[in-house]
Amino acid sequence: MTTQPATTVGEALRADNITIKFGGLVAVDNVSFVIPENGIVSLIGPNGAGKTTFFNVLTGLYKATSGRVHLGGTEVSGLAPHTIAHMGLARTFQNIRLFNLMTAEENVMVAMHSHMKSGILSTILRTPAQRREEAQARDTARELLDFVGIGKTAEEYARNLSYGDQRRLEVARALALRPRVLLLDEPTAGMNPQESARFVDFVHRVRDERQVSVLLIEHDMSVVMRVSERITVLDRGQNIAEGSPDDIRNNQRVVEAYLGKTGTDGYGSDE
Amino acid sequence: MSQTAIEAAEARPSLAVGALLERGTGYLLLLAVAAFAVWHLVATPAAFFTTLVVGINQGALYALIALGYTLVYGIIELINFSHGDLFMLASVLSGFLMVSAFGATAATTGAFLALIATLVLAMIFGAALNTTAERVAYRRLRRAPKLAPLITAVGLSFVYQWGGIKSNGSGQRNWDTILGSSGFTVLNVKVPWSMIVVTAVTVPLLLGLNWVIQKTRQGKAMRATAQDQDAARLMGIDVDRTISLTFALGGAMAGAAGLLYLQTFGTTRYDAGFQLGLIAFTAAVLGGIGNLNGAVLGGVLIGLVQALNDRFGLGVAYSQTVVFTILILLMVFKPEGILGKPTTEKV
What is the C-alpha to C-alpha distance for residues A271 and B211, in angstroms, rounded to an integer? 48
Q: Which domain holds residue B72?
A: 50-333
State yes or no: pLDDT of B333 exceeds 60: yes
State yes or no: pLDDT of B123 exceeds 90: yes
Domain boundary among B10, B27, B43: B43
Instruction: Looking at the structure, tell me whether residues B206 and B316 fall in a common domain.
Output: yes
Number of domains in chain B: 2
Instruction: Looking at the structure, tell me whether residues B16 and B104 fall in a common domain.
Output: no
What is the C-alpha to C-alpha distance for residues B282 and B89, in angstroms, rounded to an integer? 21
Instruction: Looking at the structure, tell me whether residues B30 and B158 fall in a common domain.
Output: no
Residue B335 confidence (pLDDT): 77
Q: Which residues of A touch B241 (CB under 8 A)?
A: none
Asked whether A209 and A229 are in contact (CB, 8 A), the reply is: no
Instruction: Looking at the structure, tell me whether residues B35 and B160 fall in a common domain.
Output: no
Q: Which of A23, A20, A8 is nearest to A58 (CA)?
A: A20
- CATH placement of domain A1-88+179-271: 3.40.50.300
**pLDDT band at residue B86 using 50, 70 and 90 as cut-offs:** very high
Consecutive H or E run containing B19: helix B2-43
Query: Could you say which DSSP state residue B137 is in?
Result: I
State yes or no: pLDDT of B18 exceeds 80: no
Q: Which residues of A touch B238 (CB under 8 A)?
A: 80, 82, 114
Nearest to B217 among A59, A100, A116 (CB): A116
Please provide the average confidence, as pLDDT, over all residues in chain B.
83
State yes or no: pLDDT of B121 exceeds 90: yes
Residue A5 confidence (pLDDT): 46
| Domain-embedded: residue B73 | yes
What is the C-alpha to C-alpha distance for residues A76 and A80, in angstroms, rounded to an integer? 9
Collapse the DSSP code of A181 into the 3-class scheme (helix H, G, I; strand E, B; otherwise coil) and give the result. strand
By C-alpha distance, the chain A residue nearest B229 is A99
Nearest to A123 among B218, B224, B345 (CB): B218
The answer to whether B176 faces chain A, any CB pair under 8 Å, is no
What is each CA distance from A68 to A12, A15, A20, A23, in whole angstroms?
14, 6, 11, 20
Residue A52 confidence (pLDDT): 85
State the average pLDDT over residues B167-183.
79
Q: Which residues of A touch B235 (CB under 8 A)?
A: 82, 85, 90, 110-111, 113, 173-174, 176-177
Strand A238-243 to B173-174 pairing: unpaired
Q: Do B220 and A82 touch (CB under 8 A)?
A: no
What is the C-alpha to C-alpha distance for residues B63 and B181, in angstroms, rounded to an integer? 22
Q: How far is A268 from chain B (nearest CA, A)?
A: 33
Residue A268 confidence (pLDDT): 45
Q: Which of A177, A2, A175 is nearest to A81 (CA)?
A: A177
Residue A261 confidence (pLDDT): 62
Q: Which residues of A touch B231 (CB under 8 A)?
A: 93, 97-99
Asked whether B232 and B238 are in contact (CB, 8 A), the reply is: no
What is the C-alpha to C-alpha distance for residues B204 and A128, in angstroms, rounded to an integer? 21
Which residue stretches of chain A have pLDDT < 50? 1-8, 263-271
**Contacts across the A-B interface (CB distance below 8 Å):** 85
Q: Do A61 and B233 touch (CB under 8 A)?
A: yes
Residue ranges of chain A assigned to CATH 3.40.50.300:
1-88+179-271
| Domain-embedded: residue B106 | yes
Residue B146 confidence (pLDDT): 85
Angle at A66 between CA A61 and CA A72, to 5 degrees: 65
The answer to whether B64 faces chain A, any CB pair under 8 Å, is no
Instruction: Looking at the structure, tell me whether residues B10 and B78 fall in a common domain.
Output: no
Half-sphere exposure of B334 (CA within 13 A, CB side): 17
State the average pLDDT over residues B308-333.
81
The answer to whether B284 faces chain A, any CB pair under 8 Å, is no
Collapse the DSSP code of A103 into the 3-class scheme (helix H, G, I; strand E, B; otherwise coil) and give the result. strand
Q: Which residues of B touch A171 (CB under 8 A)?
A: none
The answer to whether B236 faces chain A, any CB pair under 8 Å, is yes
Nearest to A177 among B212, B236, B238 (CB): B236
Instruction: Looking at the structure, tell me whether residues B55 and B39 fall in a common domain.
Output: no
By C-alpha distance, the chain B residue nearest A106 is B220
Instruction: Looking at the structure, tell me whether residues B71 and B30 fall in a common domain.
Output: no
Instruction: Looking at the structure, tell me whether residues B58 and B169 fall in a common domain.
Output: yes
What is the C-alpha to C-alpha distance for residues A251 and A259, in angstroms, rounded to an integer? 12
Residue B2 confidence (pLDDT): 46
Interface of B with A in 184-213 (CB under 8 A): 208, 212
Instruction: Looking at the structure, tell me whether residues B30 and B159 fall in a common domain.
Output: no
Say what the alpha-carbon torsion angle A104, A186, B234, B341 is, to the nearest 10 degrees.
Answer: 50
Q: Which residues of A touch B239 (CB under 8 A)?
A: 82
Q: Which letter, b or e, does each residue of B262-299 get, where b requires 16 or more Cβ atoms within 10 Å of its Cβ?
A: bbbbbbbbbbbbbebbbbbbbbbbbbbbbbbebbbbbb
State yes or no: pLDDT of B59 exceeds 80: yes
Residue B9 confidence (pLDDT): 53
Q: Do A114 and B234 touch (CB under 8 A)?
A: no
Instruction: Looking at the structure, tell me whether residues B118 and B12 fall in a common domain.
Output: no
Residue A122 confidence (pLDDT): 74
Instruction: Looking at the structure, tell me whether residues B280 and B173 fall in a common domain.
Output: yes
| Domain-embedded: residue B344 | no
Of A84-98, B5-19, B259-273, least confident by mean pLDDT is: B5-19
Asked whether A118 and B212 are in contact (CB, 8 A), the reply is: no
Model pLDDT for residues A132-144, shown as the tens digit of each residue: 888 888 999 999 9
Residue B6 confidence (pLDDT): 55
**pLDDT band at residue B8 using 50, 70 and 90 as cut-offs:** low
State yes or no: pLDDT of B43 exceeds 80: no
Model pLDDT for residues B126-160, shown as the tens digit of each residue: 999 999 999 998 888 888 888 898 999 999 999 99
Model pLDDT for residues B185-201, shown as the tens digit of each residue: 777 777 788 888 888 88
Query: Could you say which DSSP state residue A206 is in?
Result: H
Q: Which residues of A touch B246 (CB under 8 A)?
A: none
Residue A269 confidence (pLDDT): 44
Instruction: Looking at the structure, tell me whether residues B13 and B63 fall in a common domain.
Output: no
Residue among A82, A121, A169 with most chain B CBs within 10 A, to mutate: A82
